[in-house]
């Protein structure tokens, strides 16, 4: 009897689970649920609730203590009710583990379905970018690059359309894919003849230097989504993107860009690798892309894997990377355009849907090498993950999600991060399950902090506008 | 004098309205090179 009573009392005690975080900015406080992505904004009372529920506390005592802080009793009770409803506060008999398992079930629903296929049409490249992450998995420096044949490309296309219930795009990739433009042309025409009803679009990532009139007109005709690798203005671009003789490549890239623009390519974007050089003038570079190049989109990717010690200085600080990505988002949004780096997190953050896997390699990318081997990511070319059979490691890759990683259990970004790049994980820790606390994890936490307070700012200004007479 | 509590748990609809990317009021045309995350999030990008 006594035991039951004790149990009853205990079950009425409240606490906050370890996936609830309390953040402060100026006079504002936020309780953030890292698993359900719920956010609660308010004043000091939130901090008091958080502090008082660090240890188990009876609900009545909690209410009393908060009332003593000069708050209205009814409002306090309502607040506690709401916080309980949204699992910011739970009773002591609440099983956090069970709740985590429930969240994890979402991961089971994700099935690997190739949505986009990347054809690595050429392993060779005429540039020698200092941070190139591909030169370690394919021999981009070879004087005899491997080129994809039409037969291999055709078989890959047939495989893609047969195995994908929802094919979205085909992307041509390299090395420098335009070294093998002949195959690009032939395969696009093949798809248009053999699969006229497939509503897919074509993408290409190029350094632009090999673009000529014919190529530009071809891309315009087939409405290619084009990403041209440009790191910024001449000074910043040439600091990393060079020819084998160390000569800058800016002029040739820009020449290609203007040819594409002149030919009427409508989906022309820049792809810049954020490194310690161009990040110092990120605003200037964004304006260069938007105002001078008139880019339809700007994509920033933080520098990935640098294995050569002499180029390690190219790593920027994670805080600066996050700030640059946010700046890009804000600039583009103000012009009615979309930045995809931040957008991928924002969609989940706002919709309160856990982002289990950030990279397409975990759920929907199919990479084909020049020999016709299929794999999940071009950074793993030549590894056990590539085979003629198809994607055989999909389940293993998908399960490397923060919700499954013990190291991520107490991280504020667990529900929004989607896991770091598999190639980066391998480079940092030796295998694809590694984490990278100092760089990738820090970038993500910075982005999350920005999202939390940017939402608060926008909600406040909406409220203000509403309350204006 | 009791202090008024301004605390609010944000509703998904409210949050989405704050950003053009998720607001239904404005349709975005996705022209970006990297559209994979959007497709994964269940959005079909419109190509110009």
Which residues 165-224 of A are in CB contact (within 8 Å) with B? 168-169, 201, 203, 205, 223
Give SS3 for B42: coil
A154 pLDDT higher than 70:
yes
Q: Which pLDDT belongs to residue B34?
A: 47
Name the closest residue on chain B to residue A418, using Cα atoms: B37
Q: Look at chain B and count its residues.
A: 48
The rounded mean pLDDT for chain A is 89
Which residues 1-48 of B are in CB contact (within 8 Å) with A? 1-10, 12, 14-22, 26, 28, 30-41, 43-44, 47-48
A138 pLDDT higher than 70:
no
Name the closest residue on chain B to residue A352, using Cα atoms: B12
Put simply, whether A340 touches B (Cβ < 8 Å) is yes
Label residue A11 by pLDDT band (50, 70, 90): low
**Other beta carbons within 10 Å of A209:** 21
Q: What does the H/E/C string look like for chain A?
A: CHHHHHHHHHHCEEECCCCEEEEEECCEEEEEECCCCCEEEECHHHHHHHHHCCCCEEHHHHHHHHHCCCECHHHHHHHHHHHHHCCCCEECCCCHHHHHHHHHHHHHHCCCCCCEEEEEEECCCCCCCCCCCCCCCCCCCCCCCCECCHHHHHHHHHHHHHHCCCCCEEEEEECCHHHHHHHHHHHHHHHHHHCCCCCCEEEEEECCCCCCHHHHHHHHHCCCEEEEECCCCHHHHHCCCECCCCCECHHHHHHHHHHHHHCCCCEEEEEEEECCCHHHHHHHHHHHHHHHCCCCEEEEEECCCCCCHHHHHHCCCHHHHHHHHHHHHHHHHHCCCCCHHHHHHHHHHHHCCCCCCCCHHHCCEEEECCCCCEECCHHHCCCCCCECCCCCCHHHHHCCCHHHCHHHCCCCCCCCCCCCCHHHHHHHHCCCCCCCCCCHHHHHHHHHHHHHHHHHHHHHHHHHHHHCC
Subunit contact B38:A340, Cβ cutoff 8 A: yes
Q: Which residues of B touch A75 (CB under 8 A)?
A: 4-5
Subunit contact B21:A79, Cβ cutoff 8 A: no
**A248 to chain B, minimum CA–CA distance in Å?**
24
Q: Which residues of A touch B6 (CB under 8 A)?
A: 42-43
DSSP annotation of B26 reads: S
The closest CB to that of A338, out of B1, B15, B21, belongs to B21
Lowest mean pLDDT among A68-77, A171-180, A416-425: A68-77
A326 pLDDT higher than 90:
yes
Q: Which pLDDT belongs to residue B32?
A: 39
Mind listing the pLDDT tens digit for each residue in A380-421? 888 888 888 877 777 788 888 899 999 999 999 999 999 988
* pLDDT mean over A434-441: 89
Subunit contact A203:B31, Cβ cutoff 8 A: no
Subunit contact A360:B40, Cβ cutoff 8 A: yes
Put simply, whether A46 touches B (Cβ < 8 Å) is yes
pTM of the model: 0.90
Closest alpha carbon to A343 in A356, A328, A354: A328
Rounded CA separation A467/A460 (Å): 11
Q: Choose from B7, B21, B23, B24 for mutation: most chain A CBs within 10 A.
A: B7
This model of the complex carries an ipTM of: 0.85
Which residues 423-462 of A are in CB contact (within 8 Å) with B? 455, 458-459, 462
Subunit contact A72:B2, Cβ cutoff 8 A: yes
Label residue A213 by pLDDT band (50, 70, 90): very high
B29 pLDDT higher than 90:
no
Subunit contact A267:B48, Cβ cutoff 8 A: yes
The closest CB to that of B18, out of A42, A266, A458, belongs to A458
The closest CB to that of A225, out of B19, B33, B40, belongs to B33
Name the residue with tokens 């780096």: A341
Which residues 346-365 of A are in CB contact (within 8 Å) with B? 346-348, 350-352, 357-358, 360, 363-365
Name the closest residue on chain B to residue A112, using Cα atoms: B40
* pLDDT mean over A331-355: 86
Q: Choose from A72, A223, A267 for mutation: most chain B CBs within 10 A.
A: A267
* Six token digits for residue A286: 């964004």
């Amino acid at each position: 009897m006594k035991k039951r009573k004790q149990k009853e009392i205990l079950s009425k005690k409240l606490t906050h689970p370890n996936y609830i975080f309390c953040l402060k900015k100026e006079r504002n406080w936020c309780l953030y649920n890292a698993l359900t992505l719920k956010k609660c904004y308010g004043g000091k009372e939130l901090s008091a609730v958080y502090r008082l529920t660090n240890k188990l506390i009876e609900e009545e005592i909690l209410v009393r203590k908060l009332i003593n802080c000069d708050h209205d009793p009814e409002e306090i009770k309502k607040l506690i009710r709401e916080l309980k409803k949204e699992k910011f506060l739970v009773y002591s008999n609440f099983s956090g583990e069970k709740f985590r398992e429930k969240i994890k079930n979402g991961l089971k629903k994700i099935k690997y379905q190739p949505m986009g296929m990347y054809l690595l049409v050429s392993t060779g490249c005429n540039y020698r970018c200092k941070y190139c992450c591909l030169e370690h998995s394919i021999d981009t420096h070879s004087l005899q690059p491997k080129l994809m044949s039409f037969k291999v490309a055709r078989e890959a296309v047939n495989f893609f359309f047969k195995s994908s219930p929802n094919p979205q795009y085909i992307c041509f990739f390299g090395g420098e894919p335009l070294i093998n433009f002949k195959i690009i042309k032939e395969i696009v025409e093949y798809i248009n003849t053999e699969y006229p009803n497939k509503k897919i679009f074509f993408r290409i990532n190029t350094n632009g230097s090999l673009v000529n009139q014919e190529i530009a007109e071809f891309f315009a005709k087939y409405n290619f989504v084009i990403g041209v690798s440009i790191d910024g203005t001449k000074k910043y671009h040439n600091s990393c993107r060079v020819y084998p003789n160390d000569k800058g490549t800016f002029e040739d890239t820009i020449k290609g860009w203007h040819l594409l623009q002149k030919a009427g390519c409508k989906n022309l974007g820049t792809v810049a690798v954020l490194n310690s050089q161009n990040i110092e003038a990120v605003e200037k570079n964004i304006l260069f892309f938007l105002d001078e190049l008139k880019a339809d989109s700007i994509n920033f990717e933080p520098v990935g894997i640098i294995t050569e010690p002499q180029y390690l200085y190219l790593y920027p600080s994670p805080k600066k990377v996050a700030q640059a990505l946010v700046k890009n988002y804000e600039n583009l949004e103000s012009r009615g355009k979309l930045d995809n780096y931040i957008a991928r997190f924002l969609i989940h953050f706002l919709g309160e849907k856990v982002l289990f896997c950030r990279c397409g390699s975990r759920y929907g990318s199919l990479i084909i090498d020049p020999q016709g081997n299929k794999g999940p990511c071009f950074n793993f070319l030549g590894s056990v993950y590539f085979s003629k059979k198809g994607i055989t490691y999909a389940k293993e890759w998908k399960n490397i999600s923060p919700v499954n990683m013990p190291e991520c259990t107490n991280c504020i970004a667990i529900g929004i991060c989607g896991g770091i790049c598999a190639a980066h994980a391998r480079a940092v820790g030796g295998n694809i399950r590694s984490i990278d606390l100092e760089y990738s994890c820090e970038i993500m936490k910075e982005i999350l902090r920005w999202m939390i307070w940017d939402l608060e700012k926008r909600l406040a200004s909406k409220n203000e506008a509403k309350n204006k007479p | 004098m009791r202090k008024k509590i301004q605390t609010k748990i944000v509703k998904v609809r409210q949050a989405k309205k704050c950003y053009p990317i998720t607001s239904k009021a404005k349709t975005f045309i996705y022209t970006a090179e990297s559209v994979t995350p959007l497709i994964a999030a269940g959005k079909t990008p419109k190509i110009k």
